Copies of this chain bind each other. A is one copy, B any other.
Amino acid sequence: MLDVLIAAHDHPTAAQVLDRVREHQPGIGAATVYRTLSLLVEAGQARVLSLGEGASARYDANVSRHDHVLCVDCGAAMDVAAPLPARALADMASRTGYDLIEYDVQFRGRCPSCNKAHRKQSKTNEKRNRSV
């Protein structure tokens, strides 16, 4: 199960993890997968990401500190590093009075392919913004 997560570099949702695990182990129950996922997170073997508000939780086997770039159209997520200087963290802590544990930066934009589609879209169709 961790293997599945490690093999996946697309930050799958729990549902996707479930599907993939089922390919190897057809009978497995959803509860088990959700449970195990939580255990992995608790044990520090995986992380949960909240990428975007309506979106469901996504899992990442990359446990080291890193950030994400997220495509607003297709939802693709990629890892990036955008470390804040240690000073910034310390400043933030003293400024807010919080005891800071971690942070991450989330960039939102359009991936190259969605970007292309988007330009075409808005050229042919300036006013209407939903549908097809």
Cβ of A89 to closest chain B Cβ, rounded Å: 8
Asked whether B111 lies within 8 Å of A69 as measured between CB atoms, the reply is no
Residue total for A at the interface (Cβ-Cβ under 8 A): 39
User: Hey, what's the 0/1 contact readout for A82-125 against B, CB within 8 Å counting as 1?
Assistant: 10100011001101111111111111111110010000000000
Asked whether A82 lies within 8 Å of B92 as measured between CB atoms, the reply is yes
Asked whether A98 lies within 8 Å of B69 as measured between CB atoms, the reply is yes
Measured between alpha carbons, how far is A80 from B97 in the docked complex, in Å?
A: 12
Measured between alpha carbons, how far is A99 from B111 in the docked complex, in Å?
A: 7
A52 is an interface residue with CB less than 8 A from chain B? yes
Asked whether A108 lies within 8 Å of B101 as measured between CB atoms, the reply is yes
Contact partners of A98 in chain B: CB under 8 A: 69, 71, 107, 109-112, 115
